[in-house]
Structure 1
Amino acid sequence: MRTAKISGFADEISPDLAEQIIDFKKLGLNYIDIRNIDGNSITSRSLDEVKEIKKQLDENNLKVACIGSPIGKIFITEPNENHIELFKQTLTIAKILETKYIRLFSYYIPNQEYDKYRDEVLKRLSQMVELAERTDIILLHENEKDIYGDAPVRCVDLLENLKSPNFKAIFDFANFVQCGYNPLEAYPLIKPYLEYFHIKDALFSTKEVVAPGLGDGHLPEIISQAVRDGYEGFFALEPHLGNFVGRSTLELETQGQESEEETDGFLNFQHALNQFIIILDSIT
């Protein structure tokens, strides 16, 4: 499984694009999920700025796997007009960055009143899907906490009702765990629509995010099954790690190898990547 396509959210290493590029090259990664640069979303950048970002990535042989957009990460009760304009801008940015994937969400729902707001969620997402269908862009729905599609059954509800080759699923292990859902039970439901994996893990007991394979996300079992099912897509690392279990051991193991410039963000990301490679190496 060393041929797996691995990407990641480089802003978890540093807000600075130059540092993101340097550290991804150190890690041997050729793809990036681009989300925030200098603390601001890529979707808020001017098109000229995006073109300059693309130039820097090209010069360093880094390709954009997916745009980690904030689309759909507002309350469903908020006005949507400006959000649609931001979405249109994001479609243009995706073209400039030469990626076919945009990550989005299905709106925060007040007071968990999912049935009340279901039709409005579908209406808004349908509008975006129709715009995406005029392009070759695929919208990837992430099962984020507290949005309409945070539960496996509601993810399927969206995917079945929108019925579009331009609307597919991200499988985020940690988010399912943090919402109280067993990823092993979620996988068969999401499988027909699966296009992308977010690699992070979490514990049911505390909701704490941990390194891949060290939580309750069942990453080895699910990834192994997905590969048997023919999955050939991306695995995007999104570590969300602070002081993780095993951090002191890692620091001892890497003592003398890291430069002074290597930050906590880099070490956290490196740890997550190493744990994920262990999972991949276990898959035959």
Structure 2
Amino acid sequence: MAERRLTVAPSGITLGGIGDEAAPDLAGQIEAHTRLGWSAIELRNVDGHALADLGDGAFEQARESIAAAGLRVTCVDSRIANWGRPISGNLGADVAELATLAPRCRALGTRYVRIMSYPNDGLTAAQWGAEVVRRIRLLAAQAADEGLVLLHENCAGWAGESAERTLRLLDAVQSPALRLVFDIGNGLAYGYQGYHFLTQVVDAVAHVHIKDGVVRAGTPVWTGPGDGDCRVADCLRLLAERNWTGVCSIEPHLNVQPHAGVTDAGAAGKDAFVAYGRRLEELLRTADPRLRVRT
């Protein structure tokens, strides 16, 4: 049973999570959020399928289940321009996915679609950047026509490698249909400190992923929030200082890592997800008075 619903004052931060980090099945994802008492859920894979790949009947059942549980969908994590779609791939796959997601996002009550910016595949840095900008301009125009906002994540792709490139992408596209989702822990994989990245892009951030970890033998090892080197508390303080309003979604990566093909943590997945959420609540209570939890 839900214990409470949480927001963080005064910045207006709402806590949520990426559902399939808790369980592959939607029922398990809903259960984990209900146990936490959180009302915000971010959708990536539902019952083992990307949201755009669900049949119409399966999608409608999912929508009804989410609504019946009293959850609101804050963002849909698409495959557009992600690690599986390099710059050499067919842009048509991304255009088609966005077209499928547009009415589904409206039905779910969210405008936000997470994207990345295409891993390189043999192009020079200049060619890569130019083609990324061309594609994202087209996709942002499509999103704007559909009333959606693309949220670029600092992950796989040209603009995810540095704050400077992220700002160059935003400046080149110049569209209100393109903003940012900032993942606090992604810098571990790309060789930068997340907090410093955030200081440069914070004004364009509409959504946040909570992830923490350390680098061991050159490889990221994920930890609980506040237990690693990603300065999670400092990032949250920075958001509070800016009176930022938005959702912080936990993405533990402790048991589930879709990019590595690990999509089901079994029975322990929901418990680990809930424990991670509780650890974040504790961090918010103790890190700074401005991050106090309001029930």
Kindly indicate whether the alpha-carbon contact (under 8 Å) linking 1:197 and 1:234 is maintained by their aligned counterparts in 2.
yes
Residue-pair matches, total: 266
- Seen in structure 2, the aligned counterparts of structure 1 residues 68 and 214 have a Cα distance that, compared at 3 Å, is same
Indicate which of 172, 183, 196 corresponds to 1:172.
Answer: 183
Q: Partner letter of residue 267 of structure 2?
A: T
Unaligned runs of 5+ in 1: 244-261
Is 1:264–2:268 an aligned residue pair?
A: yes
Q: Partner of 2:133 in structure 1? A: 122
Q: Which amino acid aligns with 1:60?
A: A
CA distance in 2, matches of 1:118, 1:147: 6
Output the CA distance in 2 between the equivalents of 1:113 and 1:97: 40
Match of 1:208 in 2: 221
Counterpart amino acid of residue 74 in structure 2: A
Counterpart position of 1:257? none
Tell me the amino acid that sits aligned with residue 41 of structure 2.
I
SS in 2 for 1:275: helix
Amino acid at match of 2:288: I
Corresponding residue number in structure 2 for 1:16: 25
- The one-character-per-residue Cα deviations of 1:198-252 (angstroms, maximum 9, x if unpaired) are 0001213441121111111111111111111111110011100049xxxxxxxxx
C-alpha change, 1:217 and 1:76, in structure 2 (3 Å) is: same
Note if contact 2:44-2:50 (Cα within 8 Å) is conserved in structure 1.
Answer: yes
Change (3 A) 1:145 1:80: closer
Q: What do the CA deviations read for 1:26-47 (whole angstroms, capped 9, x no partner)?
A: 1211111011112110111133
State the partner residue of 2:261. Answer: none
Counterpart position of 1:68: 77
**Which amino acid letter does the alignment assign opposite residue 265 of structure 1?**
G
Contact 1:109 1:148 in 2 (8 A): no
Distance in 2 between residues matched to 1:153 and 1:61, nearest whole Å: 39
Which of 224, 234, 237 does residue 250 from structure 2 map onto?
237
Mapping of 1:1-284 within 5 angstroms?
2=8, 4-73=13-82, 74-110=85-121, 113-205=124-216, 206-242=219-255, 263-281=267-285, 282-284=287-289
Q: Let me know the Cα RMSD of the aligned residues.
A: 1.9
Partner Cα separation in structure 1 for residue 158 and residue 33 of structure 2: 31
Q: Structure 2 length normalisation: TM-score?
A: 0.85
Q: Distance in 1 between matches of 2:279 and 2:32?
A: 17
Q: Which of the pair has the greater relative contact order for Cα pairs under 8 Å at 6+ separation?
A: 2
Preserved contact between residue 184 and residue 218 of structure 1 (Cα < 8 Å): yes
Larger strand percent: 2
Report if aligned partners of 1:114, 1:148 keep a CA contact under 8 Å in 2. Answer: no
CA distance in 2, matches of 1:51, 1:38: 13
TM-score normalised by structure 1 residue count: 0.88
What amino acid maps onto 2:251 in structure 1? E
Q: Structure 2 unaligned runs (5+)?
A: 1-6, 257-265, 290-295
Q: 1:129 to 1:271 in 2, by over 3 A?
A: same
Mapped to 2, the partners of 1:32 and 1:147 lie a distance apart of 28
Deviates most, 44-53 or 71-80: 44-53
Closer/same/farther in 2, CA of residues 241 and 112 from structure 1, 3 Å limit: farther
Question: Which segment is superposed worse, 109-118 or 207-216?
Answer: 109-118
Moved more, 71-80 or 129-138: 129-138
Per-residue deviation, residues 12-62 of structure 1 (Å, max 9, x unmatched): 221111122122111211111011112110111133332221111111101
